[in-house]
Structure 1
Amino acid sequence: MSRESLTWLNQNTLIGFTAKRGTAWHYRASQQGDEPNHYSGPIPVADVKRRLFHWEPVEGTLETSYLTSDGVTRLTDPSGKTIIRPDTGHILGIFKRGFQIHEYKRWLVEHVETILDDDLAIGSAGLLRNGAVAWVQVELPDTCTTPEGIAFRPFLSAATSLDGSLSSTYQTGAQLIVCDNTLSAALASNNAKRVKIKHSRNSLARVVDVRDALGVIHRAADDFAAEVRQLCQIDVSNAQWTAFLNRHAPIPAERGPKRTNALTKRHALTRLWNDDERVSPWQGTAFGVLQAVNTFTHHDQTVRGAVRAERNMHRMVKGEIDDLDLSTIRTLETALDRRILARTA
């Protein structure tokens, strides 16, 4: 299937607030004796620590051996080290000595605990890549709905890794209920704050930056609602939709795989635009265009080398969702020959 199996996702991800947003796409009803990973309300902090982050990574030496005519030779590299998950024995990463471990319980739970109250709670958490990547997502308990009928949940995500693939990253976003998509919370402003902290020796001194980043989740709801309102007020005709497709997925003149891929992508986007309930209610608007591209990328685009949930999570924590949405808006601006969002960033 892919890097993570459905069994792994159901055992190593926790999904909260399902009474308000439904179950995750990989949901599987728990078997007798299994502890369910879906919560109708918020996920208790204690469950995140007990079920996901009950282990602490440890450092190991970097050694190797090879066979010579004189026998087996063993070497140790004092400039490097390994990061190991002790309960499973998995080697999660190989690094120089200066790599600083960001423990999950501290960087993903204890930091976000400082902002949890009646208005904020953990909505999802999980492990990927045998525990080499982890995230915790903080949400408002109530779903927000814009006058345009778009139900969404603003969030702040905290993610980090033990394999070097991610800096410790804290940022805001918005999750749409109708399609389980993640969208940028503030394309039109610089209010969508993202903080990245590398795994370096001086990273522990930047905890104050983390606390500053955690304070912007309430603003994300207002930013996203204002953004939706602007985009829904901009008309996109059928001719302008075609002009957008010509720029977003141009068809190469020569026959071959690239032409086939472009035609397949255009067909999928047009199907979403015309007939899919996740997009078609906003057909004929700039928001519909944004939603078509975002939905295609989340749910239809081919995934190689990773499970879709993992790829979507990585895209979100790396800021690629913001880049995707902003690129879509800029392409649409060229098709309409007008500015859509008055960006300040």
Structure 2
Amino acid sequence: MSRETLEWLNKNTLIGFTEKRGTAWHYRRSLQGTEPNHYSGAIPVEDVKRRLFGWEAVSSPVYVESPLTGGLERAPDRRAYLRSDNGYILGYFGEGYEPHPYDEWLIDKIASLLDAEVSIGSAGLLREGAVAWVSVEVPETITTPEGVEFRPNLFGATSFDGSLTTTFKRAVTNIVCDNTMGAGLAESGQEIKIKHSRNSKLRLAEAREALNLIYQTADRFSAEVKHLCETTVTDRQWDAFLDAHTPMPEDKGQSRTLAEKKRDTLARLWNHDARVAPWHGTAYGVVQAVNTYTHHEQTVRNAQRAERNMLRAITGDIHKVDHATLATLATVLDDTGLMATA
């Protein structure tokens, strides 16, 4: 990974509560001579505003070159949004676009949702600042009787490039592997989406009720972990899951080679990796194997792993991975007729 990428991540991602969760992945380490991006406790709101959100998205008209005159003509009903500090063009939109400034929507509105001061666990910018997120966490890490350590959080994200609507949702950070997981592993997580349009508003009372807020996430996730840890997955069922999750092509070639590599990696995680093996033989171990593979082992194309993982957390794609894993496993356990609980 290039020094430029490390410098960008150091300046544009902030990681809090390291005394509780440990340091984040190597690509988030601070570089010599730069301001550290790790905090032992909560990240001060002032630091997020200063280090990440200390600029504005400025609206500007759009001009195009006329093929007839060679001069510039203003594009009707189109505006660009640029960073006030460096002039970077974040995105182009119609006149009906309603901007959601990061400090207002990802700090002030989250504080309103919680009716309290926010304790920020992580925050950052992606795509040159066109995408931003803030994660609010409880101070203490929770450990279930099954040995699963996690941190529930309320996650907010928005963009200035049109890639996503403003989103607030419940999520979980799995400490053992620094992975993001859905608050509800087996089903779609609760979330609120607000479009960037003048008629779309965040109704705080409705949002609080729908999200159930951060503190109820712990009970829900703990209950699901307990159920999954009590669901036995035998070696034969694991093999059947691999066949369903990553089928082996009959013909030799690149597809077969890639499938073999993926299956071998998943088997290594399942049997030997410290992030997965403690729950070997259970449905939770299967979820851990696939989730850890997706975060840490899967080939990344046209992006850095750090950016890819965070974008998946923001868009909810990583939660879809967990849901799909459990759906496949449920089919396998039903088909084998060996579904059992410890």
Pairwise TM-score range, normalised by the shorter structure: over 0.9
Contact kept, 8 Å, 1:16 with 1:39, in 2: the verdict is yes
Contact kept, 8 Å, 2:191 with 2:211, in 1: the verdict is no
What is the Cα deviation at residue 56 of structure 1?
1.2
Structure 2 residue identity aligned to 1:186 = G
How far apart are the structure 1 equivalents of 2:207 and 2:35?
Answer: 32
Q: Deviations over 1:90-116 (max 9, x none)?
A: 000011111111100111010112326
Structure 2 residue identity aligned to 1:155 = N
CA gap 1:29/1:80 in 2 versus in 1, 3 angstroms: closer
1:304 aligns with 2:301: yes
**Matched residue, 1:48:** 48
What is the Cα deviation at residue 73 of structure 1?
2.3
Equivalent runs, 1:1-345 vs 2, <5 Å: 1=1, 5-25=5-25, 26-32=27-33, 34-65=34-65, 72-114=70-112, 115=114, 117=116, 121-188=119-186, 192-204=189-201, 206=203, 208-213=205-210, 215-337=212-334
What secondary structure does 2:196 align onto?
A: coil
What is the Cα deviation at residue 211 of structure 1?
4.4
Contact kept, 8 Å, 1:233 with 1:285, in 2: the verdict is yes
**Matched residue, 1:343:** none
Structure 2 residue identity aligned to 1:297 = T
What secondary structure does 2:201 align onto?
A: helix
Contact kept, 8 Å, 1:333 with 1:339, in 2: the verdict is no
How far apart are the structure 1 equivalents of 2:252 and 2:311?
Answer: 33
Which stretch of the first structure deviates more once superposed, 79-88 or 319-328?
Answer: 319-328
Contact kept, 8 Å, 1:273 with 1:288, in 2: the verdict is yes
How far apart are the structure 1 equivalents of 2:104 and 2:29?
Answer: 30
What is the Cα deviation at residue 310 of structure 1?
1.8
What secondary structure does 2:28 align onto?
A: coil
How far apart are the structure 2 equivalents of 1:194 and 1:321?
Answer: 14
What secondary structure does 1:155 align onto?
A: strand
Contact kept, 8 Å, 1:154 with 1:217, in 2: the verdict is yes
Sequence identity percentage: 54
Q: TM-score, normalised by structure 1?
A: 0.91
Contact kept, 8 Å, 2:96 with 2:198, in 1: the verdict is yes
Aligned CA RMSD, in angstroms, stands at: 2.2
CA gap 1:211/1:87 in 2 versus in 1, 3 angstroms: farther
Q: Deviations over 1:42-80 (max 9, x none)?
A: 011111111111111111111122566x6x322211211
What secondary structure does 2:231 align onto?
A: coil
What is the Cα deviation at residue 321 of structure 1?
2.5
Unmatched runs of 5 consecutive residues or more in structure 1? 341-345
Contact kept, 8 Å, 1:155 with 1:175, in 2: the verdict is yes
How far apart are the structure 1 equivalents of 2:206 and 2:90?
Answer: 27
What is the Cα deviation at residue 208 of structure 1?
4.8
Q: Deviations over 1:288-310 (max 9, x none)?
A: 00000000001111111222222
Contact kept, 8 Å, 2:13 with 2:37, in 1: the verdict is yes
CA gap 1:269/1:309 in 2 versus in 1, 3 angstroms: same
How far apart are the structure 1 equivalents of 2:28 and 2:101?
Answer: 28
How far apart are the structure 1 equivalents of 2:38 and 2:183?
Answer: 25
What secondary structure does 1:182 align onto?
A: strand
The number of aligned residues is: 336
Structure 1 residue identity aligned to 2:61 = T
What secondary structure does 2:240 align onto?
A: helix
What secondary structure does 1:216 align onto?
A: coil
What secondary structure does 1:24 align onto?
A: coil
Contact kept, 8 Å, 1:170 with 1:317, in 2: the verdict is no
How far apart are the structure 1 equivalents of 2:250 and 2:211?
Answer: 49
How far apart are the structure 1 equivalents of 2:282 and 2:86?
Answer: 50
Unmatched runs of 5 consecutive residues or more in structure 2? none
Instruction: Tell which has more relative contact order, 1 or 2 (C-alpha 8 A, sep 6+).
Output: 1
Q: TM-score, normalised by structure 2?
A: 0.92
Which stretch of the first structure deviates more once superposed, 296-305 or 310-319?
Answer: 310-319
